[in-house]
Amino acid sequence: MNIKQILFFVVAVLLFSMETFAQRQFNLSSPDGRVTVKVEVGDDIKWSASLDGKPVILPGSVSMAVNKDILGKKPVLLSQSRRQINNRITVDVPRKNKTEQDLCNELLLQFKNNYSLIFRAYNEGAAYRFETKYKNEVLVENEDVNLSFNPGSQVFFPEEESIISHYERSYIDTALASLSLGRFCSLPVLVTSGGVRVLVTEADLFDYPNLFLSATAGNSLAAKFPPVLLQADPGKRPDRDEKIVKEADYIARTSGTRTFPWRVFTITDDDRKLAESDMVFKLSRPVAINDTKWIKPGKVAWDWWNANNIYGVDFEAGLNTATYKYYIDFAAKYGLEYIILDEGWSKTTTDLTAPNPDINLEELISYGKSKGVGVILWMLWKPLDQNMEKHLDQFVKWGAKGIKVDFMQRADQYMVNYYERVARECAKRQLLVDFHGAFKPSGLHRAYPNVMSYEGLKGAENNKWGKLITPDHNLTLPFIRMVAGAMDYTPGAMINANKVSFRDIFDNPMSMGTRCHQFAMYVVYESPLQMLADNPTHYYKEPESTEFISKMPVTWDETRVLDAKVSDYILVARRKGAKWYAGAMTDWTPRTLTLDCSFLPPGNYKIEMMQDGVNAGRNGNDYKKVVQKITNGSKLVLNLAAGGGWAGIIEKAD
């Protein structure tokens, strides 16, 4: 063989090797081996996922358009590396568990043109994200997220009518392929593919817009993002609304060296594991503030849902000092840490420095302090945005303990950054934050533990004007919205009705389902700032119910979902210290569940439980309190009425 032939052979081998390298496939399995992620690098980058070898997410491409270059098209793979992550995370404000195990296997693929793709496989699912290393700021024109599922897939679809949204949606249970082209939803969204649940959401969302997903008229979903907002004019309500006038042709202007949000997929054939999942927290950035000891979660007496309709008092109820002292007295009596002053405490919604003249705010806050009750102030996002530091300094001067920010209704990059700015500036001043009128949690609560809760759901307030907050709806939330993070649902209704007797009454609202359905929410629903939404007068008239609710913690050391089916029923046990708390909820179908007490350590226990009364199916207010002795060998039969529930508090027997 002459030199020319040798050179030709060497070149051919190199070209063949490069081509082979360019077409490589990578498999990444979860630590328990059940979840497998396959990544294919060819003309584009595709990934898929399976559970126990069964395809769940079918091959779909991923790419990102940055500075007119499409990362992921014609990729040139430079290197790959793998590692196992196994960390124990101590949670500052634990919504599920005091410690979380962050256990996964990771694959990092580095490509020419200064970008990488990172994939992770957890026992509970999978995730991926882009990372770039450019010197200068970049424009992200778009990111393609293409998700394909098995034929015949079903979806709980939180359909949006507009990209301007409070994320207050009902979940449409339908065939994925039945959704016409262009219909789109916010996250989280739950798909059932080949009998396996796939919960799609995102984590570590910073300086980047929220992801929405559009239907394709088939068994797939594709990314949709709100563009960068360039110009907005006041809407019909200029203190809170905006009319979008001009948008950019890109979705983010951001640092060129950064990691982008995780695309998160909880994958399981066990609905219990879906409700237990905390992937969003584990995939988000660590705590960004030095001191978290001041953060005090708690229960809250809330005024707006019950329209301040207290009675049996010798003063006129309303937005005044006397009414809120009544709320403070109620909170103090039952050991509630806070009250909220919702809309109306300020003279106008646009001036947050001038209290309503009928409310002596400083006197009220001082009165609350003397009773051990803090005050949280509601406000619209726009006035706060316009002079944030001045307003927050004033709230601290008054002695407020936190803020409730409302009506954001946008999910673009500016609004994501606004959330972080609120969290950061409030943390500097030791103020708690509750985001109402908000998009879903996406990891900010890990970086800033002073962020207590988010609405971003269709919650109890909708009982005031409609009939959509059914037990069926309530049984979707633990498996979809709550997987993303805490929920400001606002439970605690003391007027409880069945399908026939329910009425939507704005100033004197009620709930669908039984009283015990409401009790159970204090165990099932996660929120470190948990509301008692009803009228304090009603609670005073129901001391047995109120005393029971007041014993419920708002943070947890350990969580176990014992029995569950999406949209049908759930049975949860949670531990706080040495005590256990259990809650069960059902939809409109009466059910019998069994509480297997084997999760308890050996010993003798006392359980105090609230169960649906014999007539709860006719009158939702009917319940029965039962106290009995149990051991870890006990199995309690729980009879739940239509729209019913059950709740119990378990402690060591004397």
Question: How would DSSP label each residue in 409-462?
Answer: ---SHHHHHHHHHHHHHHHHTT-EEEE-S-----SHHHH-TTEEEE--S--GGG
Other C-beta atoms within 10 Å of 654: how many?
Answer: 5
What is the largest distance, in Å, between two alpha-carbon atoms of the chain? Answer: 110
Distance CA 63, CA 509 (A): 48
Report the pLDDT value the prediction gives residue 241, as an integer from 0 to 100. Answer: 86
Known catalytic residue: 314? no
> Which phi and psi (to 5°) does residue 388 adopt?
-65, -50
Rounded-to-integer distance, Cα 188 and Cα 57, Å: 16
**pLDDT tens, position by position, 202-218:** 999 999 999 999 999 99
Asked if the model's pLDDT at residue 15 lies above 80, the reply is no
| Bond into 227 cis (ω within 30) | no
pLDDT confidence bin for 402, thresholds 50/70/90: very high
Between strands 69-71 and 54-66, the pairing is: antiparallel
User: Is pLDDT above 70 for 1?
Assistant: no
Question: pLDDT at position 201, please?
Answer: 98
The answer to whether residue 461 is catalytic is yes
Tell me the helix, strand and coil percentages in the chain, rounded to 5: 20, 40, 40
What percentage of the chain exceeds 70 in pLDDT? 96
Report the percentage of the chain scoring pLDDT > 90.
95
**Tokens matching residue 272:** 């219990």
Give the pLDDT confidence score for residue 16 in this predicted structure: 40
Domain assignments of the chain as residue spans, ordered by start: 26-282, 298-555
Query: Does the pLDDT value for residue 579 go beyond 80?
Result: yes
Around Cβ 554, how many Cβ atoms within 10 Å? 22
Instruction: Tell me if residue 105 falls in helix, strand or coil.
Output: strand
pTM score = 0.95
Residue 411: count of CB within 10 angstroms of its CB: 28
Work out the burial of residue 47: count CB atoms within 10 Å of its CB; fewer than 13 is exposed, 13-18 middle, 19 or more buried: buried
Read off the amino acid at residue 191: V
pLDDT band at 242 (very low <50, low <70, confident <90, very high): confident
So what's the pLDDT on residue 646? 99
Residue 185, pLDDT > 90, answer yes
Q: Locate tokens 């809330």: which residue? A: 302
What is the pLDDT at residue 429?
Answer: 98
Per DSSP, 273 falls in state H
Written as one string, the DSSP assignment of 13-81 is HHHHHHHHHHT-EEEEE-TTS-EEEEEEESSBEEEEEEETTEEEEEEEEEEEEETTEEETBS--EEEEE
The tally of CA atoms less than 13 A away on the side-chain side of residue 354 is 7
Closest CA to 552 of 330, 338, 298: 298
Mean pLDDT to the nearest integer, 559-580: 98
DSSP 311-342: -SSSS--SSSHHHHHHHHHHHHHTT--EEEE-
Residue 340: other Cβ atoms inside 10 A: 25
Question: What is the CATH architecture assignment of 298-555?
Answer: Alpha-Beta Barrel (3.20)
Tell me the per-residue pLDDT of 130-162, one tens digit each, with 9 for 90 and over: 999 999 999 999 999 999 999 999 999 999 999
**CATH fold match for the domains 26-282 and 298-555:** no
Q: Would you give the distance in Å from CA 206 to the centre of its chain?
A: 16
pLDDT tens-digit map of 359-401: 999 999 999 999 999 999 999 999 999 999 999 999 999 999 9
Helix axis angle, 361-371 to 388-398, nearest 10°: 50
Query: What are the structure tokens assigned to 170, written together?
Result: 């009902």
pLDDT digits (tens, 9 = 90+) for 408-467: 999 999 999 999 999 999 999 999 999 999 999 999 999 999 999 999 999 999 999 999
Tens-place pLDDT, residues 471-527: 999 999 999 999 999 999 999 999 999 999 999 999 999 999 999 999 999 999 999
- How far is it, in rounded angstroms, from Cα 454 to Cα 444? 11
| 3-class secondary structure per residue, 553-607 | CCCCCEEEEEEEECCCEEEEEEEECCEEEEEEEECCCCEEEEEEHHHCCCCEEEE
| Banded model confidence at residue 3, pLDDT cuts 50, 70, 90 | low
On the question of pLDDT at 17 being above 60, the answer is: no
How do residues 326-340 score in pLDDT, each as one tens digit?
A: 999 999 999 999 999
Residue-level pLDDT at 574? 98
Q: Kindly tell me if the per-residue pLDDT of 11 is higher than 50.
A: no
Which residues are within 8 A (CB) of 153 and not within 5 positions of it... i.e. 6 or more apart? 175, 176, 177, 191, 192, 193, 194, 219
Mean pLDDT for the stretch of residues 158-186: 97
Beta partners for residue 165, in sequence order: none
First CA to last CA distance, the chain? 93
* pLDDT (0 to 100) of residue 2: 58
- pLDDT at position 235, please? 83
What CA–CA distance (Å, rounded) separates 362 from 377? 12
Rg (CA), the chain: 26
The overall average pLDDT reported for the chain is: 96
Tokens 């609304």 belong to which residue? 241
Q: Using CA atoms, how far apart are residues 111 and 444, in angstroms rounded to an integer?
A: 29
pLDDT at 9 over 70: no
pLDDT for position 23: 59
Q: Check: CB of residue 28 under 8 Å from CB of residue 123.
A: no
Instruction: Give the separation between CA 394 and CA 388, rounded to whole angstroms.
Output: 10
* Spatial distance between the Cα atoms of 169 and 164, rounded to a whole number of angstroms: 13
- DSSP classification of residue 614: T
Residue 10, pLDDT > 60, answer: no
Q: What is the band of 236 on the pLDDT scale with cuts at 50, 70, 90?
A: confident
* Secondary structure E strands in 273-387: 298-302, 338-341, 374-380
The hierarchical CATH code for the domain 26-282 is 2.70.98.10
303, 461, 488, 568: which is the annotated catalytic residue? 461
Distance CA 225, CA 213 (A): 8
Q: Of 278, 406, 455, 622, which one is the catalytic site residue?
A: 406
